[in-house]
Amino acid sequence: MTSHSDNQWSIQVEIHEESTQILFTTEAFSVICPLLPATRPWFQDVIQGVRSCVSWSSPATSQERKPFTIPLRNVLWAELGDDAYVTIAVLAETGKNHELTHYNGKVISDLAQAKQWVSRLIELAYDGVPPRRNVKVLVNPKGGQGRAKKIYEKIVRPMLESARCVIDTQYTTHRFHAMEIAETISLDCDAIVALSGDGLPHEILNGLASRPDAIKALRIPVVPVPSGSANGFSLNLHGLKAGFDVALAVLNVIKGKPMRLDLCSVTQGGRRTWSYFSQSFGFMADIDLGTEFLRWMGDTRFYLGFLYGLISNKPYPFKLFIKSAISDKKDLLALTREPPSKELFKENLVESLPADRYISESTSDTGWVSFDKPILYVYAGLQPYVARDLLQFPMAKPSDGYVDIAIQEVASRAALLSMVDEAGRGGQFYQDTSHYYKALAYRLEPYPNSKGVFSVDGEVYPWEPIYIEAHQGLATTLSMHGHFVVTFVDKPSSFV
């Protein structure tokens, strides 16, 4: 912790063409409150860091000092106290991550002007998002090898408190506890925050979907804070660079705007559940479920599991039928080359969970295709990144109404190993033995007397016939971007 004190520093907000920023300089505040006199600075000693992680220069003369900037979106709160001090809570960049920082400044002239400036600062900083959100926080104390509780106490709670959020925190104590909480949770909260990996959101969404008022419940955003091993949900909301930055994830809780998410219904043996993330079968299911004992390694466990699985490299005994919408790779690539569009919240007019539209159809009906080649794995998903080193579904969109399906034929070990280098940017998409579908629904039917396991959002499902269908925009999360943040390796010369 570092404190900074300097009577020459004050705050200005400048609005540039590309960004709006808070600029800590000795200038006045004419931009944020244009009607205020620009020649009368009313701040003294803005820099008294309660917590400061910003890199500062310490030259001998004021002429050598260099100002630094903080984006307006990183302002969590500002207020004028009875002691005539203004306190501003911001998220400051500290190398690869961000950290909560407070600055205090004493008003030395017009308190009325200062009050107006603070009010306007909050208005601009929140950009139409209601401040002081009411959040329900669920913490899996075993998440992230036991780090989730520490992450909450050290980073999450201080940020939410600094933003003046209303916080209701609960620690999960057993498997499916989050589902039980979601089944009875009051719907007056603005967001449900999940501190864990990708398993806790699965429980929360299934709990919300099991309620009599499921559609209304699913309008409450479920928002991840990365505290587990893979943290794929967070990667998709923030991108590779920021996906593991806890502070940015909390900023999304505070300021993100609602964004619809597709869900998949999963029907097996008369039981219907919901998937928000991925479903894996064959080789990939073995990796997902067979490396649980390696959770202490983080998302590296999936890479090691892949290498170990190459030893067997065998076809898996099931039939696959797909209700296909798009399968031509040129058409799929065209989707990635479109500018990302914001898929923010739209009111869902349905009153109850939708029925499955294609479950009664025969796989010989129009639109259904069967995959007849020997299959090493089937991986289906609704979000692009599965882990940092695996961009499995580069064409996945938050709410396009499709489930993306990647199918890997049995291939040589050398060919499979060659995919590893570019898997983090989706390079396996270009392999001849890799197939990709955007689908409305699909079925898997294990061969009689065969053995295996299915994985749905990391949960074990029996080796029995299973039907999965995409449903557009049923769930809700929060986003600072309005779309998934993806870095995909585009090869323009492919499939020409």
| pLDDT of amino acid 490 | 76
Q: What is the pLDDT of residue 345?
A: 53
The DSSP symbol for 256 reads P
**Pairing of the two strands 166-171 and 134-139:** parallel
Residue-level pLDDT at 173: 96
- DSSP-derived secondary structure letter, 296: G
Kindly give the confidence (pLDDT) of every residue in the chain, 496 residues in length, as a single tens digit, with 9 standing for 90 and above. Answer: 222 333 333 344 444 444 444 444 333 333 343 333 333 333 333 333 222 222 222 233 333 344 456 778 889 999 988 888 788 898 888 877 899 988 777 776 667 877 887 888 888 889 899 999 999 999 999 876 788 999 999 999 999 999 999 999 999 999 999 999 999 999 999 999 999 989 999 999 999 999 999 999 999 999 999 998 789 999 999 999 999 999 999 999 999 999 999 999 999 999 999 999 999 987 666 666 554 544 545 555 555 556 555 666 677 889 999 999 999 999 999 888 877 766 555 555 567 899 999 999 999 999 999 999 988 889 999 999 998 888 999 999 999 999 999 998 987 777 777 777 788 889 899 999 999 999 999 999 999 999 888 999 989 899 999 999 999 999 999 999 999 999 888 775 555 4
- Residue 298 sits at the vertex; the CA angle it makes with 292 and 300, to the nearest 5 degrees, is 90
Of 31, 24, 32, the closest CA to residue 8 belongs to: 24
Checking DSSP bridges between strand 222-226 and strand 459-461, what pairing results, if any? unpaired
Where in the chain are all domains bearing CATH 3.40.50.10330?
134-255
Overall fold of domain 134-255: Rossmann fold (3.40.50)
Alpha helices in 185-299 (DSSP H): 199-209, 214-217, 232-238, 246-255, 283-290
Distances in Å between the Cα of 347 and the Cα atoms of 219, 220, 236, 254, 475 are 9, 12, 23, 21, 11
Q: How far apart are CA 185 and CA 120, in angstroms?
A: 35
Q: 342: how many CB neighbours lie within 10 A of its CB? A: 11
- Span(s) in the chain for CATH 2.60.200.40: 264-479
Rounded to whole angstroms, the Cα distance separating 213 from 181 reads 15
Nearest to 203 by CA among 457, 463, 398, 383: 457
Report the chain's terminal Cα–Cα distance, integer Å.
56
Please give the structure tokens belonging to residue 410.
Answer: 């049995």
**Residue 192 identity:** I
Rounded CA-CA distance 441/396 in Å is: 15
Residue 119, SS3 per DSSP: helix
Phi (first) and psi of residue 251, to 5 degrees: -60, -35
Using alpha carbons, list the distances in angstroms from residue 281 to 31, 136, 167, 319, 386: 57, 34, 39, 11, 14
- Residue 477 has a pLDDT of 98
pLDDT of residue 24: 40
User: How many angstroms separate the Cα of 350 from the Cα of each of 178, 219, 355, 474?
Assistant: 26, 12, 11, 10
- Quick one: CATH architecture of 5-126? Roll (2.30)
Rounded CA-CA distance 385/444 in Å is: 23
Query: What's the token pair of residue 230?
Result: 């893979």
Distance (Å, whole) CA 194 – CA 137: 6
- Cα separation, 215 vs 18, whole angstroms: 38
Residue ranges of the chain that CATH labels 2.30.29: 5-126
Q: How far apart are CA 292 and CA 386, in angstroms?
A: 15
| R_g of the chain computed on alpha carbons | 25
**What is the CATH code for 264-479?**
2.60.200.40
Q: Residue 312's pLDDT is what?
A: 63
CA distance 139 to 137: 6
* Residue 237 in tokens: 């909301």
